[in-house]
Every structure is written in structure tokens, then in C-alpha cells.
């Protein structure tokens, strides 16, 4: 009888145990569902804020060539000013080089010097970004994403206020230095998205960053060109305001709205995933120890950093010289510059929404390498097209650009829609087996490698342009990017997704329960 009673009690105890396990599983599922919904909400907040940020950032792009001309007209002939001394030094160097070269571009004299000056200015901004990006990444891992982002926003507001009142080149240079040290928005936005997504949804989340860039580069330059006609320091006779002060004021308004929006809507995401799957903590620790510092992960991260540097060295240099090229060869107005950059942005937006997101959604991380390779090929063809446009213009002497310029713009759009944001996705996924709190450091190091390329690229490209002309400059870029594409295809694995330790531990736990049940 006792044996029979004991036998009858066992199924009841087993049923109670199974009921408890089912209850725990249901509770864990509800946590995961709520967390996914919150992640989607935070991703939307980041997208809206980043769109405002990119709009503000791109307003100045079509205005740079004529802004430098305006500063030159104000103080370029005075050797006691920084701009006057710089232009005099460049002119002396140009005269010495003309003794052993027949460059037709250098023979344009002071007009050619503005291209080199523009390259130096762009390189300074990116060099500062290179220095500060690892710091921002590590600070965000310690202080939190939200607090670090708000500090960056404060710096962005300060630089834009200084831009409004940069009546001299020196004050404009100070403003750009503060801008370079403060622009951590894109980096932190990528980190926040990595915080709130997993391997199956991260590529789509990162694609939103690319869409924000595409829309921003579509509208921002056109907005800048529009406001350049509304309040001009030259028209008002002011020596206190920037040459195109209205554009700077509108940029300041966008940054103010973005700051308020982030302050009231963005939560902290540093420990977003800590509440998920507490039952697997032991397995997580084992998985992290086994794979978190693996040589293969470190090797892939190093290769991705090198590819990022090499690609942006050439792409950013050629991209930066584009508005100077159209100003030099075709005398584009601010509005025409805005239309060209807007065309690139619209094309990039259509590609992001209609093609890139679909490819990214097919398999976690597996579409990223294909998209990066396609973007690099598009960049190569675009640079070749612009080189042909320059050769055609030199041959005909026509002041109007050929259709090759617009073909080159399409190539730039393909590259903008794919390469950088897909590389960001690959970097965040290759370290998915590491602690979530390490994401800021990895993305910060990756961004720093790219910013070194962005710092050196404009100086290199503008120097080649200055010495040998536009056609040679873009031809060199096309050859270089084609080589980088080949190295990327050979050296980087097809997928950089590493199974999340939380998910792997959950699978192990489920498997263990199933074995016990059997």
C-alpha cells in the first residue's frame, strides 16, 4: 500500500514540477516580448533624433566652397590673419611646384588653393573625431548611453552658436574644432540600437541609421542652399555673423529640438538586456569565457577596422572634393550643389528602403557582406564615371557637366546606402558573444579607425586634385577602391554573427529539461 501511494504521489509531484517549468517559460516569454516591443520603440526614437542630427550636419556641406571664398574676400589679403598667412604659404608652395609640373589645375592659381584649404578643414574635423570616438565609446559603457549622448548634444549646440557668429575664419575654425570633438551622435545611436536588438533584428535596426543618413543627405544640402539666400552677412554688411548665417540659425534650431526630444524620450539602454533569461546566467558566464576573447573574433574585428579605414580614406576624400569639383569646373551655385547632393540622397533613400532592408532581413548578418561588396563596386564605378566626366569637360571645354557626373552620383548613392552601415552591423554582430556592456568600446574603436581614414582622405584627395587635376584624382580613387573590394571579399568571412550566449544558454537549458523529461 505504501509503495502504491508513493507511486501515485510521484506523477503528481512531476506534474507540479512541469507546471512550474511551464509557468517560468511563459513568464520568460512575456519578458522577451515586452523587451522586443520596447526595443522597437527605442529604435524609432533613435531614428527620429538621428534624422534631425544629420539634417543639421549636412546643411553646411554645399556652402563650404563659397564660405571659404567669403572668408578669403574678408581677410585673405591680410597676412596677419590665420587665413591670410595660410593662403600665402600655400601660394608659395604652388609657385615652387609649378617649376616642375604642367598641371593645368595648379595654373588656376588662388582658385586651386581653396580646394587644398577645404581638404585641410575637412581632415581636421575627422582627425578630431578619430581621437574622441574611442573615448566616447568607453565613456558610454561606463556612464551610460543617454548621459554621454546629452553631453555630445550640448557640444553640438555650442559649436552651432559659434558658427552663427563666426565673422572671421579663426572663429569658424574654433567652431569646427568643437564640432569635431562633440559629434558622437551617430556612434552612440549605433550603440543604442545594438543594445536593444539581437542578431536576428540588428541588421534591420542598423539599416534605419543608413536611412536617416540618406534622408538627411537628401534634404539637408537643399535646406542649406535655400537658407543661404535668406540672411547673408555680405548683404547685411555685418562682420560679426557667418557668411551664411541663416543656414546656421536653422541648424541650431534643429539641434535644439533634437536635444529636447532625446532628453524627454530616450531611456538608458546600457543594461537593457540584463533582465532577460536570468536562469541562464551560469551558461552565459561559461560561453563568454569560451568565446568572448577568442582569437578569431579579435582577428575579424581587426580586419573590419582595417577595411573601414582603407575604404573611408579614399571614399571620403573623393566625396569631399565633389562639391569643390563642381564649383571649380562647372561653377555650380549653392542651389545646384544642393540639387546634386539631394539627388544622391534621394537615390540612397530609395535603395535603403526598397532594397537594402529586404536583403538584410533574409538572414541575420548574412546579407551584410554581400551589400558591402555591392556598395564598394558601385563606388568604384561611380568614381570612374566622374573621372570620365572630368576628361570630357577638359576635352570639350564645355562649362556644363555631362551625364557621366550623374552616373557618378548614382555610384556614390549605392555606396552611401550600403557600405558603412552594413560594416557597423557586422562589427556589432561579430562580438555578440561578448558582454553587452562592451558594445560601445567595439563600435568606438571601429568608428575611430574610419575617422582616421576620413581625416587623411580629404587631404590626400585634395592634394592629388591640386597637383594633377580632377580626372587623375578620381581615377586613383577608383583603382584603390577596387583593390579594397577584392581584399574585403577574400579576407572577411561570409557572416560575422556569433551566437548570443544568452540564447545559446537558453537552448542548452531547454535541451536539459527535455532530456530530464524523457
C-alpha grid cell, residue 66: 563659397
Of 208-217, 282-291, 322-331, the poorest mean pLDDT is in 282-291
Q: In 3D, which of 5, 24, 110 has the Cα closest to residue 68?
A: 110
What confidence score (pLDDT) does residue 100 get? 59
What are the tens digits of pLDDT across the range 346-370?
A: 898 888 877 887 776 565 556 788 8
Of 35-49, 84-98, 209-223, 444-458, the poorest mean pLDDT is in 84-98
What confidence score (pLDDT) does residue 1 get? 47
d(CA 46, CA 258) in angstroms, rounded, equals 10
Q: In 3D, which of 44, 87, 14, 32 has the Cα closest to residue 277?
A: 32
What confidence score (pLDDT) does residue 174 get? 94
What are the tens digits of pLDDT across the range 66-123?
A: 888 889 888 888 888 898 898 888 878 777 776 655 555 555 566 667 777 877 887 7
What confidence score (pLDDT) does residue 486 get? 96
Q: Which position has the higher pLDDT, 435 or 219?
A: 219
Q: In 3D, which of 379, 484, 366 has the Cα closest to residue 425?
A: 366
C-alpha grid cell, residue 238: 555685418
User: What is residue 400's DSSP assignment?
Assistant: S
What confidence score (pLDDT) does residue 263 get? 95
Q: What is the CA radius of gyration of the chain?
A: 27
Q: Are 288 and 434 in contact (CB under 8 A)?
A: yes
What confidence score (pLDDT) does residue 121 get? 83
> Mean of the pLDDT values across residues 228-250?
73
d(CA 324, CA 117) in angstroms, rounded, equals 11
What confidence score (pLDDT) does residue 18 get? 52
Distance of CA 250 to the CA centre of its chain: 22
d(CA 152, CA 135) in angstroms, rounded, equals 12
What confidence score (pLDDT) does residue 498 get? 47
Of 257-261, 429-433, 460-464, the poorest mean pLDDT is in 429-433
Distance of CA 494 to the CA centre of its chain: 22
d(CA 27, CA 25) in angstroms, rounded, equals 5
Mean pLDDT of the chain: 79
- Distance linking the first and last C-alpha atoms of the chain: 27
Residue 460 pLDDT greater than 80, yes or no = yes
What are the tens digits of pLDDT across the range 218-230?
A: 888 888 888 887 6
Say which residue the cell 558658427 belongs to.
163
What confidence score (pLDDT) does residue 497 get? 52
Q: Are 427 and 286 in contact (CB under 8 A)?
A: no
What confidence score (pLDDT) does residue 437 get? 56
* DSSP result, 425-478: HHHHHHTTTS-GGGHHHHHHHHHHHHHHHHHHHHHHHHHHHHHH-HHHHHHHHH
What confidence score (pLDDT) does residue 310 get? 95
What are the tens digits of pLDDT across the range 161-210?
A: 999 999 899 999 999 999 989 988 888 998 899 888 887 777 778 778 87
d(CA 81, CA 365) in angstroms, rounded, equals 52
Helix (H, G, I), strand (E, B) or coil at 289: helix
Residue 396 pLDDT greater than 50, yes or no = yes
What confidence score (pLDDT) does residue 335 get? 80
* DSSP result, 22-41: HHHHHHHHHHHHHHHHHHHH
Say which residue the cell 584603390 belongs to.
480
C-alpha grid cell, residue 88: 600665402
What confidence score (pLDDT) does residue 507 get? 39
Residue 465 pLDDT greater than 80, yes or no = yes
Count of beta carbons in the 10 Å neighbourhood of residue 10: 9
Q: In 3D, which of 311, 305, 288, 491 has the Cα closest to residue 383?
A: 311
Confidence at 394, pLDDT banded by 50, 70, 90: confident
237's torsion region: left (phi>0), alpha (psi -120 to 50) or beta?
left
Confidence at 217, pLDDT banded by 50, 70, 90: confident
d(CA 351, CA 75) in angstroms, rounded, equals 44
* DSSP result, 258-278: HHHHHHHHPPP-TTTTTTS-G
**H or E element, residue 55:** helix 2-58
What are the tens digits of pLDDT across the range 259-276?
A: 999 999 999 998 886 655
C-alpha grid cell, residue 503: 540564447
List the Cα angle 41/45/48 in 5-degree steps.
135
d(CA 276, CA 388) in angstroms, rounded, equals 56
Q: Is residue 395 classed exposed, middle or buried when 0-12, 13-18 and 19+ CB atoms within 10 A define those classes?
A: exposed
Q: Are 244 and 20 in contact (CB under 8 A)?
A: no
Residue 511 pLDDT greater than 70, yes or no = no
Of 16-30, 141-155, 439-453, 496-510, the poorest mean pLDDT is in 496-510
Q: Are 21 and 513 in contact (CB under 8 A)?
A: yes
C-alpha grid cell, residue 99: 617649376
C-alpha grid cell, residue 121: 578643414
d(CA 494, CA 450) in angstroms, rounded, equals 21
The rounded percent of the chain whose pLDDT value lies above 70 is: 77
Domains of the chain: 42-77+106-270+282-505 (1.20.1250.20)
What are the tens digits of pLDDT across the range 379-393?
A: 999 999 999 998 888
What are the tens digits of pLDDT across the range 273-310?
A: 665 544 444 444 444 444 444 777 788 889 999 999 99
What confidence score (pLDDT) does residue 506 get? 42
Distance of CA 400 to the CA centre of its chain: 32
Amino acid at each position: 500500500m505504501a509503495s502504491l501511494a508513493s507511486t501515485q504521489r510521484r506523477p503528481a509531484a512531476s506534474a507540479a514540477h512541469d507546471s512550474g517549468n511551464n509557468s517560468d517559460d511563459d513568464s520568460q516569454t512575456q519578458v522577451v516580448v515586452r523587451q522586443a516591443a520596447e526595443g522597437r520603440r527605442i529604435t524609432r526614437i533613435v531614428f527620429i533624433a538621428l534624422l534631425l542630427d544629420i539634417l543639421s550636419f549636412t546643411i553646411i556641406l554645399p556652402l563650404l566652397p563659397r564660405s571659404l571664398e567669403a572668408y578669403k574676400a574678408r581677410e585673405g589679403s591680410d597676412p596677419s590673419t590665420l587665413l591670410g598667412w595660410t593662403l600665402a604659404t600655400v601660394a608659395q608652395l604652388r609657385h615652387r611646384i609649378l617649376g616642375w609640373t604642367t598641371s593645368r589645375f595648379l595654373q588656376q592659381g588662388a582658385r586651386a588653393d581653396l580646394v587644398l584649404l577645404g581638404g585641410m578643414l575637412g581632415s581636421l574635423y575627422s582627425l578630431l573625431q578619430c581621437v574622441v570616438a574611442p573615448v566616447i565609446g568607453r565613456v558610454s559603457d561606463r556612464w551610460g548611453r543617454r548621459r554621454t549622448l546629452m553631453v555630445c548634444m550640448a557640444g553640438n549646440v555650442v559649436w552651432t552658436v559659434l558658427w552663427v557668429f563666426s565673422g572671421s575664419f579663426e572663429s569658424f575654425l574654433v567652431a569646427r574644432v568643437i564640432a569635431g570633438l562633440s559629434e558622437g551622435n551617430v556612434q552612440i545611436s549605433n550603440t543604442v540600437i545594438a543594445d536593444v536588438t539581437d542578431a536576428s533584428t540588428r541588421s534591420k535596426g542598423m539599416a534605419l541609421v543608413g536611412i536617416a543618413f540618406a534622408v538627411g543627405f537628401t534634404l539637408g544640402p537643399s535646406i542649406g542652399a535655400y537658407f543661404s539666400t535668406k540672411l547673408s552677412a555680405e548683404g547685411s554688411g555685418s562682420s560679426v555673423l557667418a557668411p551664411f548665417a541663416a543656414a546656421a540659425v536653422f541648424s541650431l534650431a534643429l539641434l535644439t529640438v533634437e536635444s529636447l526630444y532625446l532628453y524627454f524620450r530616450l531611456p538608458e539602454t546600457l543594461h537593457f538586456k540584463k533582465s532577460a533569461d536570468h536562469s541562464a546566467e551560469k551558461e552565459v558566464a561559461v560561453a563568454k569565457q569560451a568565446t568572448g576573447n577568442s582569437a578569431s573574433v579579435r582577428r575579424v574585428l581587426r580586419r573590419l577596422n582595417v577595411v573601414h579605414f582603407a575604404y573611408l580614406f579614399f571614399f571620403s576624400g573623393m566625396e569631399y572634393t565633389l562639391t569643390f569639383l563642381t564649383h571649380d569646373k562647372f561653377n555650380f551655385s549653392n542651389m545646384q550643389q544642393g540639387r546634386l547632393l539631394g539627388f544622391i540622397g534621394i537615390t540612397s533613400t530609395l535603395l535603403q528602403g526598397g532594397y537594402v532592408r529586404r536583403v538584410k532581413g533574409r538572414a541575420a548578418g548574412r546579407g551584410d557582406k554581400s551589400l558591402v561588396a555591392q556598395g564598394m563596386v558601385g563606388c568604384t564605378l561611380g568614381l570612374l564615371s566622374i573621372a570620365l566626366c572630368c576628361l570630357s569637360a577638359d576635352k570639350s571645354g564645355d562649362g556644363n557637366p555631362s551625364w557621366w557626373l550623374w552616373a557618378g552620383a548614382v555610384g556614390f548613392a549605392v555606396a552611401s546606402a550600403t557600405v558603412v552601415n552594413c560594416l557597423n552591423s557586422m562589427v556589432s554582430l561579430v562580438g555578440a558573444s561578448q558582454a553587452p556592456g562592451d558594445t560601445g568600446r567595439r563600435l568606438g574603436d571601429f568608428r575611430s579607425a574610419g575617422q582616421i581614414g576620413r581625416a587623411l582622405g580629404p587631404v590626400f584627395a585634395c592634394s592629388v586634385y591640386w597637383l594633377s587635376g580632377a580626372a587623375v584624382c578620381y581615377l586613383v580613387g577608383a583603382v584603390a577602391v577596387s583593390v579594397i573590394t577584392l581584399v574585403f571579399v577574400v579576407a572577411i568571412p561570409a557572416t560575422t554573427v556569433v551566437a548570443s550566449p544568452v540564447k545559446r544558454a537558453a537552448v542548452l537549458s531547454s535541451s536539459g529539461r527535455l532530456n530530464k523529461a524523457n
